[in-house]
Copies of this chain bind each other. A is one copy, B any other.
Amino acid sequence: MSSVVEDVIAFCRMFSSFEREEICCGTVSPAQCVLLQTLTEGEWDVSALASHARVTKGAMTRLIDGLEKRDWVTRTKGEDDARRVLVSLTPAGTKEAKRLHRLTERSIATILNRIPESNRPEVIRSLNLLRTAAEQTRTQLDCC
């Protein structure tokens, strides 16, 4: 009998390894992949991206450098505050983000399809509850 703790650990680690392996088959690092997906929500400045991804601003600068070199993102100076650098997706970046998203969808669909159809609605509802609960928890986190 496995506990819920082992289930969460196992599921999340496996999903992470799916992400890594889907991505490594292509040409982006996992961190770049997350960044591209974040930017589909719109324009962000470097600090916001860094704290969202939980890395330093220096690391984020370099992640952006990498995507900029491939013409997937552009930097623009903030209008009201010239210190700010706003990062946004180029058309090519949008396309790449969509490609990555489709791969992720495919992974998740494969997993869900292995769950008996009668259980799927409750599983889907549960995932939404879990996401919401984790988000509430995360905003409080501030260790390290």
Contacts and interface: CB of A to CB of B under 8 A. Distances in A.
B11 A134 contact: yes
A120 to B, nearest CB: 9
Interface of A: 2, 4-22, 24-25, 34, 37, 54, 101, 104-105, 107-108, 110-112, 114-116, 119, 122-138, 141, 143-144
A14 B124 contact: no
A137 B21 CA distance: 13
Given A4-B124, A114-B137, A130 B21 contact: no
B130 A7 contact: yes
16 contacts: A7-B130, A8-B108, A11-B127, A11-B134, A12-B19, A14-B131, A15-B134, A17-B138, A18-B138, A18-B141, A111-B130, A112-B133, A114-B132, A115-B130, A122-B122, A123-B130
A144 B24 contact: yes
A84 B119 CA distance: 44
Contacts of A112: 4, 133
B128 A4 contact: yes
7 nearest A-B residue pairs (beta carbon) = A126-B126, A114-B133, A123-B126, A7-B131, A7-B127, A14-B134, A12-B15
A123 B114 contact: no
A135 B18 contact: no
